[in-house]
Amino acid sequence: FKDLKLRDQYSQVSVSGTERIGNREAYVIEAQSVDNKAEKLFFDAQSGLLLRRIVFTKTVLGKNPEQTDFEDYREVDGVRLAFTIRVSSLDDNHFGTTRNFIEVKHNVPVADVKFDIPAAVKNDEK
């Protein structure tokens, strides 16, 4: 889970101030990723948890920002994880998705059959 290893993802970081994210005060970190993307990270001033990440991808039309909000943190095996993750494109269309996790388990054996292509899909490919 890459968001647990932020230090490895950035070549440059600096604190640029504070902002409110909803009802939370957050430290704003401006960063340059190792793949040369500009990012802003917002960490809750009280808990230290990542509340928001904005990634600016360079395109021929300029920088395209994508915002990810992390909510509903819960402890799983001693690690606090966001159980709601909202991803929004900040362009004119504001397209977005929300992922809500019901349960997270670490290092649980998974039977190989879970990765088999369902029969209905196999039949459609013929």
Whether 42 has a pLDDT exceeding 70, the answer reads yes
Whether 122 has a pLDDT exceeding 90, the answer reads no
Predicted pLDDT at 92: 64
Whether 69 has a pLDDT exceeding 90, the answer reads yes
Angular region, 74: left φ>0, alpha ψ -120 to 50, beta rest: beta
| Cβ atoms 98, 86 nearer than 8 A | yes
Whether 61 has a pLDDT exceeding 70, the answer reads yes
- Sequence ranges of the domains in the chain: 2-124
For the domain spanning 2-124, the CATH number is 2.50.20.10
The CA–CA distances, whole Å, from 35 to 11, 39, 53, 69, 107 equal: 9, 11, 16, 21, 29
Whether 68 has a pLDDT exceeding 90, the answer reads yes
Predicted pLDDT at 49: 96
How sure is the predictor about 35, in pLDDT bands with cuts at 50, 70 and 90? confident
Alpha helices in 10-117 (DSSP H): none
Distance CA 105, CA 34 (A): 29
End-to-end CA distance of the chain: 36
